[in-house]
Amino acid sequence: MTSISGGPLEGYLVLDFSQFLAGPMAAMRLGDLGARVIKVERPPAGDIGRGLAFGGISEDGDTLSFHITNRNKESYAADLKSDDDREKVLELVKSADVIVQNFRPGVMERLGLGYEAVRALNPTVIYASITGYGAEGPWSTRPGQDLLAQSLSGLPWLNGSGDGPPVPVGIALADIITSIHLAHGVTAALLKKERTGEGSRVDTSLLESMLDLQFELVSAHLNDPSVLVQRGAPHTAHAFLQAPYGTYPTSDGYIALAMGSVPDLGELVGLDALAEFGDPDTWWTEQTRITQLLAAHLATNTTDHWLSILDAADFWCAPVLSLPELVNHEGFAAIDMAQEFTRTRPDGTDITLTTTRAPVRFDGKPLGSPRGAPRVGEHTKSIDVEFRGKDNE
């Protein structure tokens, strides 16, 4: 893979004040694109995310989550409530191209590191912030956490089916999507800076990201309030798409069916009962009946059996893979999505971990870096020498 030194954002300096997932992931994405990222952490524990474990996995005192979302970074230890430490950080601020932070509204201002204070020191800085639900409004002071943001946005209700309970997406979806939006905004602001010499303030939130994810449904309701989300029957996969769109059990797994003619599908799989649904309007009005018939029929044979028939006819379909099936599939290997990175322990031995790479390529090459996440304050002295001409002593 291409080294971080060859990335398109090489030469830009990012100060990452953020914690947990959304902010650190946004800064990580900028680092994946070549920016230098210095993570500012409070000693001795550092980012609270160092203790947020994915699956209980930890290495060298930090969780797998922290290792993944803070790779390619340097760590500068500073207590922002200390006048001396804050002055040292302000020296870094003067040289930064980008500031990333995800504290609750008002916290950075109380620390003397709000947008106006930073802009006074560095007029061309890009000041990038993530909140849970925006800086104002009745939800602005609520905890900005992924499940809570998903829930307020209505996504778990949309994600269920029939009369079942709400079903949250089983990953940190709000954090991940928000990190993408912030990195997108920062790169646009950097382009503006190159063109005009002006800095910018970039803001987004978990809630805004979740609403953008549901733009089809929200837009439909805003234009016609009578349009409501009617969760489909079991096996359906989209509130606004008719049968056969959904996932169906087979004798050894599941198969996903996208848009297509219901009678044509019936002919392909040998389900004569679908011939009666020749009017496309019935794919909506009789959605429950159609999906019930399909589920019962497709369960009589294997996923590969149905795929061989449907793929040959170019009917849009795919197997529903489990995580082990995915990572062991030749399709996963073909896109070269995994990368390794290494961190050296204090005793001089190395730990090597594997994660996914940045999901973009430049000039046909994927971006990656072998450098792991830093220990708390690992680079404080060298950074002080570089930016202040002396170490921290």
pLDDT digits (tens, 9 = 90+) for 236-291: 998 889 999 999 999 999 999 999 999 999 999 999 999 999 999 999 999 999 99
Q: What average pLDDT does range 193-197 have in this prediction?
A: 97
Percent of the chain with pLDDT over 70: 97
pLDDT of 298 over the 70 cut: yes
Distance CA 253, CA 321 (A): 8
Catalytic site residue 203? no
> pLDDT at position 210, please?
97
Are 76 and 380 a contacting pair, CB within 8 Å?
Answer: yes
In this predicted structure, which of 55-64, 203-212, 258-267 has the lowest mean pLDDT?
55-64
The band of 183, judged by pLDDT with boundaries at 50, 70 and 90, is: very high
Q: Residue type at 110?
A: R
User: pLDDT digits over 150-170, tens only?
Assistant: 999 999 988 877 778 899 999
Q: How confident is the model at residue 391 (pLDDT cuts 50, 70, 90)?
A: low
Q: Catalytic: which of 175, 212, 279, 384?
A: 175
Q: In what order do the strands lie in the sheet with 98-101?
A: 73-77, 36-41, 13-16, 98-101, 126-131, 200-205
Amino acid at 199: G
Domains parsed from the chain with CATH numbers: 4-213+333-388 (3.40.50.10540), 254-319 (no CATH)
Please return the burial class of 16, using the count of CB atoms within 10 Å of its CB with bins 0-12, 13-18 and 19+: buried
Kindly compute the dihedral angle of the four CA atoms of residues 115, 121, 123, 128, in this order, to the nearest 10 degrees. Answer: -30
Q: Is the pLDDT of residue 219 over 80?
A: yes
Residue 4 has pLDDT above 50, yes or no: no
